[in-house]
Amino acid sequence: DPPCPLVWMALGSHGRRELAPSSDADSALAWDGADGGPEEEYMRTLAGRVVAQLAATGFTADDHGATAAQPACHRSVRAWHHLLRHMIENPDEDKALVLVSLVADGRPVYTFGDARDFREELRAAHSHRGLLRLMLRIAEAIAVRMGALALATGESLGQVASQTLQNIHVID
C-alpha cells in the first residue's frame, strides 16, 4: 500500500472525456504527505511504473511532459496548491496558462485514502483579472482564426429572440 493518501488525475482529452485513438495520456499525481523523503520517492517510482505500463498497452505519454512520470506533474498536494496559486497570479510566465488549463480539465481516476483535491486553488481564479484577460486574448485570437462570430464567456446570452449570434455580431 502507498505510504499516504494519493490521487491520480487524468488530464487533457482524457480528463475532459474526449479521447480519440490518437490521444496521448496526460496525467498528474498528488499525494497528501511530505515533500522529499521516502513518500516522494515512492510516488516518483509509482508514477514512472504506471506511465510505463500505460505506454506498454498503447496509451503513450504526452511528448511535452504533461505526465505524472515527469517532475512537473507529480508533487504533494501542498506543492500543487503553491504552484497553482503562483501560476494564477502570474499567468504570463512560461507554460502557466497551459498547466492551469490542463489541471482545470483534469479529473480524478484513482484515489487511495482520503486524498485532498489539489485543484481547490482554481476556484479562486475568477478573481485574478490578469489570468482572465490572458485567457480572453488567446480565445479571441483563436475565434478570429476560426471565423467565429462570438465568444461565449458564461455571461447571460440569448435573453430575447433577436439576440442571435448574427444579430449581436452586426450590432457590435
List, for residues 34-60, the tens digit of each pLDDT value. Answer: 888 899 999 999 999 999 999 998 888
pLDDT at residue 90, rounded to an integer: 80
pLDDT at residue 44, rounded to an integer: 95
The pTM of the full predicted model, rounded to 2 decimals, is 0.75
| Order of strands, sheet of 74-76, starting from the edge strand that comes earlier in the sequence | 74-76, 27-31, 6-10, 107-112
List, for residues 79-132, the tens digit of each pLDDT value. Answer: 998 988 888 888 777 778 788 888 888 899 999 998 888 887 777 666 667 777
Output the DSSP codes for 94-148: TTHHHHHHHHHH-EEEEEESS---GGGGGGGGGG-HHHHHHHHHHHHHHHHHHT-
Where does the pLDDT of residue 160 fall: very low under 50, low under 70, confident under 90, or very high at 90 and above? low
